[in-house]
Copies of this chain bind each other. A is one copy, B any other.
Amino acid sequence: MATQSHGSPEDQSAYAEPLRDVAPAPRRSAAEEARTLVAQTTTASLATLSEDGTPWSSLVRIGLTATGDPVLVVSTMAEHGRNLHREAKASVCVGEEGEGDPLDRGRVTLAGAVVPGDDAALRAYEDAVPTARGMAKYADFDVWVLRVDRVRWVGGFARMDSVTAADYAAAAPDPTGAAGPGAARHMTEDHADALLLMARHLGGFPDAETARCLRCDRLGLDLAVTTPRGPGSARIAWAQPVTQAGGLRAAAVELTQRARAAAGSGA
């Protein structure tokens, strides 16, 4: 009989802890994670309530207001468009793009209620979805803003949190957000030796045998390491936060130099 829940401590067998104390590295807040993820896509799944009481899942494209509220332009010729006239409560889910199992990648659900959108909302939508420019002139289309009052972010395995509407609205998307996945892949593919030095000499895993970069962001990078004791993970901060998309490279070079220096000094 199944009595154990997934993700419980019993489930975390054979994960290696760092062998040396390392300074805790800052992470993006869940609110920043959510804002960053939502800013990277214009495709979302919309849930509305159909007349027969069925929650109705459909595909939409979205723009974003300045505070990250999704803007929808949908037709009453479609069921979701009619639903929103009857029941304003709705949510959208956006998923992080990438390869492999989509459940290993990030996704965010933004829940709230729609209100009619103004001209600024329509412009935000048309900026995000240029092919839709002019659609709102048709009588069957409505412009809606989903006023977010509840946010659930899932970053992948064991990375998830709820976010208040205020924290979500106040957060800014990570300026390196769109560049992060490519930079992480590049470091893993072309600079595995540097990552291994980082894991051994800055990440607390002197016995690391391999290191991959899982992700990197404006504050630092996450490494997945293998050791004779099993797999482990390390978070290492950049020297300072990166403030623009193009800044990840310089931050990674500095971190590599620091790891080499630490290796040379026997750290």
Contact = CB atoms under 8 A, between A and B. Distances in A.
Please give the count of copies of this chain that the complex contains.
Answer: 2
Contact of A138 (B4, B61, B107, B140): B4
A93 B59 contact: yes
A138 B6 CA distance: 6
B55 A89 contact: yes
Given A89-B53, A91-B54, A92-B57, A2 B152 contact: no
Nearest to A80: B109
A139 B102 contact: no
Interface stretch (A19-27, A40-48, A200-208): A40-48
Contacts of A89: 52-55
| 6 nearest A-B pairs in the assembled complex, by CB-CB distance | A45-B45, A47-B57, A47-B55, A47-B47, A57-B93, A55-B55
22 contacts: A2-B136, A2-B138, A3-B139, A4-B138, A5-B77, A5-B138, A5-B139, A6-B75, A6-B77, A44-B57, A45-B45, A47-B56, A49-B49, A53-B89, A54-B90, A54-B150, A55-B89, A57-B57, A57-B92, A58-B93, A59-B95, A101-B131
